[in-house]
Amino acid sequence: MLLRLLLLLPWAACEVKIPTVEIAKGVQMPVMSIGIGGLERSNASEIVANWINQGGRGIDTALIYQDQQVVPEELAKAGIDRKDVFITTKIPSCIVPSVKFSIESDLKLLKTDYIDLLLIHDPIGDCPKAWSILEDYHRQGVLRAIGISNFNASQVDTLMKTAKVTPAVNQIELNVLEYDAEALERSKQLNITVEAYSPVGRSGHSGDIRDNQVIKSIAAKHSVSTYQVALKWILQHDNVITFQSSSAEHQAQDADVFRFQLTDEDMKALDQLHGNSTGGVRPILV
């Protein structure tokens, strides 16, 4: 009995429990999803396994990542039902002749008959027309929620002129150093949930979040890491997150941001870091 208790303790200590938010009528999305894009695509199996085995339920993938097949594989290995996870995937663009084919490919690769949230990865092509195809799938219940990614304010405005369904989510680059403030504002005004990608700056890509002095002092005050502060700042501004880590320990630490609260003063200091990025362009294939 005692032995069992001791064996259970380390797991109990790192159990991941992520709250959800309503992104569309009747659709609850975890506020943090693990991402399997970018340079780490070769680790996709390990990333998903580590996440779902410690309780994570949101997964972010895309057709261009070429790794969607690991999702059903790892769910089967872990004995977790499809309906108990929230899968976000994407179609590459608004290029109309490829829209149906891309959606059908996502469904096949994920071995599922529905997708929780499907995003248009990039606003390239005829987005109003592409959106109407997504709306058809949404009406049929194949796509529970539909959204966009990398849309700036004017691209959102163009889409909204003809959209019958408001995008549930706009997934954009958003971290304490780097974001398009106008895209963020416009999305919020339209009640489009903003989902941050590269929320911890993608290992230095958006500048040095880990060793930033302002973030460090706030982290020390709350006895958390700079990663946790960077993530909490996003959540406390009512946005959701897709983040990436191969390591089960890092994943657990990053998910452990629901037992502390940043003060108004902390939030103001962090807001002022916008523009302090030393980063460059968006990484390839993410």
Ligand X SMILES: *[C@@H]1O[C@H](CO)[C@@H](O)[C@H](O)[C@H]1NC(C)=O
Ligand Y SMILES: NC(=O)c1ccc[n+]([C@@H]2O[C@H](COP(=O)([O-])OP(=O)(O)OC[C@H]3O[C@@H](n4cnc5c(N)ncnc54)[C@H](OP(=O)(O)O)[C@@H]3O)[C@@H](O)[C@H]2O)c1
Residues taking part in catalysis: 65
Q: By CB under 6 A, which span of 92-100, 159-167, 200-208, 216-224 interacts with ligand Y?
A: 200-208
Q: By CB under 6 A, which span of 7-15, 154-162, 196-204, 232-240 interacts with ligand Y?
A: 196-204
Q: Which backbone phi and psi does 7 adopt, to 5 degrees?
A: -70, -35
Closest CA to 38 of 60, 19, 22, 16: 60
Task: Check if the beta carbon of residue 218 is closer than 8 Å to that of residue 270.
Answer: yes
Task: Check if the beta carbon of residue 15 is closer than 8 Å to that of residue 55.
Answer: yes
String of contacts with ligand X for each residue 248-277, x by CB under 6 A: ------------------------xx-xx-
217 binds ligand X (CB under 6 A): no
Task: Check if the beta carbon of residue 36 is closer than 8 Å to that of residue 61.
Answer: yes
CA-based Rg of the chain, rounded to a whole angstrom? 19
Which entry of ligand Y, ligand X, none binds 149, CB below 5 to 8 A by partner kind?
A: ligand Y
110 binds ligand Y (CB under 6 A): no
User: How far apart (Å, rounded) are the C-alpha atoms in residues 61 and 198?
Assistant: 14
Q: By CB under 6 A, which span of 17-25, 84-92, 108-116, 254-262 interacts with ligand X?
A: 17-25
Quick one: 24 or 172, whose CB is closer to ligand X? 24
Which entry of ligand Y, ligand X, none binds 154, CB below 5 to 8 A by partner kind?
A: ligand X
Helix (H) or strand (E) holding 169: strand 169-173
String of contacts with ligand X for each residue 55-84, x by CB under 6 A: ------------------------------
Out of 50, 93, 212, 245, which residue is the one contacting ligand Y (CB under 6 A)? 245
User: How far apart (Å, rounded) are the C-alpha atoms in residues 73 and 44?
Assistant: 11
String of contacts with ligand Y for each residue 56-95, x by CB under 6 A: ----x-----------------------------------
The CA–CA distances, whole Å, from 157 to 108, 124, 229, 240 equal 32, 15, 32, 21
Burial group, residue 13, by CB count within 10 angstroms (0-12, 13-18, 19+)? exposed
**DSSP strand pairing (143-149 vs 169-173):** parallel
The dihedral built from the CA positions of residue 253, 255, 260 and 266, taken in this order, carries a sign that is: positive
Closest CA to 121 of 166, 32, 61: 61
123 binds ligand Y (CB under 6 A): no
Which entry of ligand Y, ligand X, none binds 276, CB below 5 to 8 A by partner kind?
A: ligand X
String of contacts with ligand X for each residue 219-238, x by CB under 6 A: --------------------
Closest CA to 165 of 186, 184, 205, 137: 137
Out of 153, 160, 165, 190, which residue is the one contacting ligand X (CB under 6 A)? 153
207 binds ligand Y (CB under 6 A): no
> Residue 2 Cβ, how far from ligand X at the closest point, in Å?
32
**DSSP strand pairing (240-243 vs 20-24):** unpaired
Binding footprint of ligand X on the chain (CB under 6 A): 22-25, 39-40, 42-43, 46, 152-155, 182, 191, 214, 246-247, 272-273, 275-276
Binding footprint of ligand Y on the chain (CB under 6 A): 35-38, 60, 121, 149-150, 171, 197-203, 225, 227, 242-247, 250, 253-254, 286
